[in-house]
Each structure stands twice: as C-alpha cells, then as structure tokens.
Structure 1
Amino acid sequence: MDLGSYRSDVRAGRWTGPTRGVVPDHVQCNLVVLPQQWADGFAQWCEANPSVAPVLARSELGSPRLPVLGEDIDLRTDLPSYRVFEHGEAVGTTPDLVDLWRDDLVAFAFGCSFSLEEAMRRAGVSLDYEARGFGGAIYQSTLETEAVGEYGGPVVVSMRPLPAEAVEHAIEVSRRHPWLHGAPLHAGDPSEIGIDLDRPLESFGEVRLADGEVPVFWACGVTTQRVVERARPDLAITHESAHMLVTDVPLTTTFELQGEPA
C-alpha cells in the first residue's frame, strides 16, 4: 500500500489497526498532545531522555499540523486510534480528535521502534521471530527515566528476540538511528531490569525465545503514557499502542533531534 492510499483509509476509518509494517519506506512516529502549560516541561523531559522520546517535531500552539513531517499531515485524523487521558487517568480511545482538539494544545512526534525494526531488517539483522508470527512485546522495567519537574517514571521497553550472533549487529545498526530510539538499553537476562518475559504489558503474538535467541530490549514510546499518568495534566492525548503516525519522511532521512530533518 502506498502512503496516499493508507492515509486516505485512515481518515475514512477504513484502517483502524496497528501500523507495524505499514508503508515501510516512511518513518513512523509516536504522538503526545498536551495543553500549553504542560508542554515546555514535557519537552525538557524529552530532551533529558532522548532514547525514550526522541522528538522529531513539535507543533505550533493550537495547530494540528507538523509540516516538518509532512505538509498534508493532520494530527486530528491521521492516526488509526488515539488514547485519551484526563488528570492522569486513561478514559478511553477514539478514532479521531476532531471534537477534542483545542486551541491551547501542543503536539510532539517522536521516533518509533517500528521504523527502527525496518531499518534493522534492511541492514540484514536476522529477525527470525517474524516468521513465527511474533511482533515483539512491551514490558515495564525497573530502569528509571531522568525526572524533570512533574515528569518521570519507569522506562517501558520493547523486546525482540534475536539470534545470539545477531545481537552485536543489531546494536551497531540501531545505534546509527538515535531518532528511532537508538541502541538497545539491555540484552540478555531480563531479570536484570526487573522483567518477567511471561508478563508483558502487551504482546504481538506468543512470547517465545527459540533456541539460541537472546531477548533484546529497546526504550519504548509507551513510556510517555506512564509519565503522563504520573504528571496528571487535565488532558493528554497519545497514540494508542502500536497505532502510529505514518509520516511523509523517507526512512533514509537522518534527523537532528529537537529539530528538522538534516
């Protein structure tokens, strides 16, 4: 599917599912939307935690547009599903933000590990788990983000099992893409970061390590949802897990974090 067809389907409500593997030539992004009085503090937290929330674009006040990522992007309609928080409590999901958008909102888009996964695939990293229908899993770790003001909390990580001989290659490739979470935070024994593989927050298929595979953990954008819950702004909107913003930006683009594509 090409980008234009995909975006038309999302806007029309014909595509409502996860975006893993969708339009793989283009960068996918996580999303956080906050009222103006909460935005600067969140931006400072992102800057202090670039592997968790590598910001690629920030909207103008009240604007649902992110022209750095695509002139046609409309944040009110261009994600398949959004999660809404009120005073730190998740109150539900919605297919669009047309009725929720306000003039005091500021949006942040930051790199997604779905695109990092595609970059590794293209670099020849062995993603054998795909052949058995597994798309990764998400866990809350005992690692902590660097707190800034009201924002802070544990790091949520995404796990992908890789052949032991592929781990160093995966680290090398992912380190080249800091705007897509960069190098993994941990590889090997999950208990070292407080994780039980049988207890994911969310999984895409059966969690299973084949013989000779090692669990590898990257920072995950779902961390921002935990941070928002702790900060308790009156309103916050994020992507629903695995339902990302697909941008106009080619996967081959490199970024200066907190700025425009280089």
Structure 2
Amino acid sequence: MRDLAAYRRAVRAGTWSGPTRDVAPGRVQCNLIVLPELWAEEFGAWCAANPAVAPVLARSRPGDPRLPSLGAEIDLRHDLPAYRVFRDGRPAGVVSHLDELWNVDLVAFAFGCSFSLEEALRRHGVDLAYERRGFGGAIYRTERETVPAGGFAAPLVVSMRPLPRAAADRAVEVSRRYPQLHGAPVHVGDPSALGVELDEPLDAIGEVSVADGEVPVFWACGVTPQLSLEAARPSLAITHLSAHMLVTDVRLDELTVAQ
C-alpha cells in the first residue's frame, strides 16, 4: 500500500494486520517499546548507551499515546498492525490494539527500523538482489553483549542481508548516513565472528539465501530491546510484533546525515 492515510485507516479498521515492509514508501518506519514510567529512565539510558541498537527518534509523555514529532495523527494504541505484550519480561501474547492495555503510566519509545534502511539503500543504488529471490532478511542472536544500563541488558541481535562484495562496501557507506536507522553494519562477512549460524535465525522473511559471490552483512536490530526486557522484567511492556512497525509521517530524506 503506497498511501499513508489509506494504510492507517486500514490498520485502525483491522483490515490490515500484516507486515509493514514496503508500506508507504518514503516514510520512516519505527520499532516500538512501551513500558511503565518507573522503568523509562533506565530504558532511555540503555538506548543512549546502545545507539546503533535503539536509535530513539521520539519518546512520549507518560500516558500520552501520541508522538507528534513523528506524525500529528499518530495514535500508538491503534497504529501498528500487531503488538507483542510482555509481563515481567516474558512474552504474554499478541494483540491488535492497546485499548485495554493503555494507561496513564505508560511511556513509549520509537526508534529507527531497518525496513527504512533498506529503502535508503535502494535509493542510493544498492541492488538488493536477495529480494528478487523471495528473501527479505533474517535476524540472529549473537555472542556480543550490549552495554547494560540499570536493569536493562541483552545480547546483540542483528539483521542479515546478503550483498555482493562491491555492493556491501557501498551499503556501509550509505548506511553511515542514517545513524537513526541503525547506521553502518556491525559486521560484514564470516557469521562465525558473531557466533551466528546462518541456518538458525530467530526469525526470517522467506528462506535464508546467500548466493555465490555474496557476503552476509549484519546490522544492529531493533529486536534487541525486546531481549532487554527479559533482564529488567518490567511488570508490563509492549512492543511491535516483528516486521509490524509504526509507520510515521517523517520522510526518509529528513534523516540523512551529511558525511
């Protein structure tokens, strides 16, 4: 769907519940974490300590489901196709809206998403040939640790996209211009350097595929904060369901950083 207003109407009406990949081209998509105000300062400190993992674009006021800097009409209770619920750091189900869960104590954090980074790569001439093979990327838990803050700590989760070596070099150059979309890759090449087995992803869009002449390229992933909830164990937390993002009004070009 290319029209942002039509997409939002469909999500709010419950007629769009699928992934947001390629929804509303040109608009920035965000990962989401919502948790009680009591935990917000520690989580914000963890984000600041791990900017490639959780590059915060907006933070709400307690109890306010809006993020006006990302879109005047955004309502976090309804504008994602699916949400994950955590209780005491453990997964507790998936819901399609937050009407019953939202309360005056909740604070939301929105941070850049690799779906938007992919669009930036395409715009700058990086050929994502894996997409034509029906593969949309995969995520992996690595042996690297993020920087802890307060009760929040997590192993680094990465997203992988296979690229020809020349395209990988270009992808590094381009993605550096978008630090709010995870920035440059954390690793290019041998997945064992991260403790990763390519055939054992946490999740994948399509069958994992690395063609001859390609190298796997790994970026920090917005799923990492969901693992940090296991360590901190807030009484309630809400996140996006993997690949079901917050689509904002912000234009991709607004996030470019000159090199």
Q: Aligned equivalents of 2:243 and 2:165: distance in 1?
A: 26
Query: Helix, strand or coil for the counterpart of 2:7?
Result: helix
TM-aligned CA deviation for residue 239 of structure 1: 0.3
TM-aligned CA deviation for residue 244 of structure 1: 0.1
Q: 1:113: which partner in 2? A: 114
Q: Aligned equivalents of 2:212 and 2:24: distance in 1?
A: 32
Q: 1:215: which partner in 2? A: 216
TM-score, with structure 2 as normaliser = 0.98
8 A Cα contact 1:135 1:203, kept in partner: yes
8 A Cα contact 1:56 1:255, kept in partner: no
Matched, 1:125 2:129: no
TM-aligned CA deviation for residue 24 of structure 1: 1.5
Counting only pairs closer than 5 Å after superposition, residues 180-259 of structure 1 correspond to structure 2 as 180-254=181-255
Counting only pairs closer than 5 Å after superposition, residues 99-178 of structure 1 correspond to structure 2 as 99-178=100-179
Q: Aligned equivalents of 2:146 and 2:21: distance in 1?
A: 26
Q: Aligned equivalents of 2:150 and 2:186: distance in 1?
A: 24
Q: Aligned equivalents of 1:221 and 1:229: distance in 2?
A: 15
**In structure 2, do the counterparts of structure 1 residues 255 and 32 end up closer, same or farther at CA, with 3 Å as the change threshold?**
farther
Measured on the aligned residues, the alpha-carbon RMSD in Å equals: 0.9
Q: Deviations over 1:126-185 (max 9, x none)?
A: 100011110000100111100011001101000000011111100000000000000000
Q: 2:33: which partner in 1? A: 32
8 A Cα contact 2:84 2:91, kept in partner: yes
Q: Aligned equivalents of 1:167 and 1:254: distance in 2?
A: 21
Q: 1:75: which partner in 2? A: 76
TM-score, with structure 1 as normaliser = 0.96
Q: 2:20: which partner in 1? A: 19
Gaps of 5+ in 1: 257-262
Q: Aligned equivalents of 2:109 and 2:209: distance in 1?
A: 34
Q: 1:47: which partner in 2? A: 48
TM-aligned CA deviation for residue 254 of structure 1: 2.2
Q: 1:259: which partner in 2? A: none
Aligned residues with identical type, % of pairs:
64
Q: Aligned equivalents of 2:42 and 2:27: distance in 1?
A: 29
Could you list the structure 1 runs, at least 4 aligned residues long, displaced by more than 6 angstroms after superposition.
Answer: none
Query: Helix, strand or coil for the counterpart of 2:158?
Result: strand
Q: Aligned equivalents of 1:129 and 1:161: distance in 2?
A: 7
Q: Which amino acid aligns with 1:54?
A: P
TM-aligned CA deviation for residue 65 of structure 1: 0.2
Query: Helix, strand or coil for the counterpart of 1:224?
Result: helix
Q: Which amino acid aligns with 1:226?
A: L
**In structure 2, do the counterparts of structure 1 residues 176 and 255 end up closer, same or farther at CA, with 3 Å as the change threshold?**
closer
8 A Cα contact 2:142 2:194, kept in partner: yes
Q: Aligned equivalents of 1:255 and 1:152: distance in 2?
A: 29
TM-aligned CA deviation for residue 208 of structure 1: 1.5
Q: Which amino acid aligns with 2:8?
A: R
Q: 1:260: which partner in 2? A: none
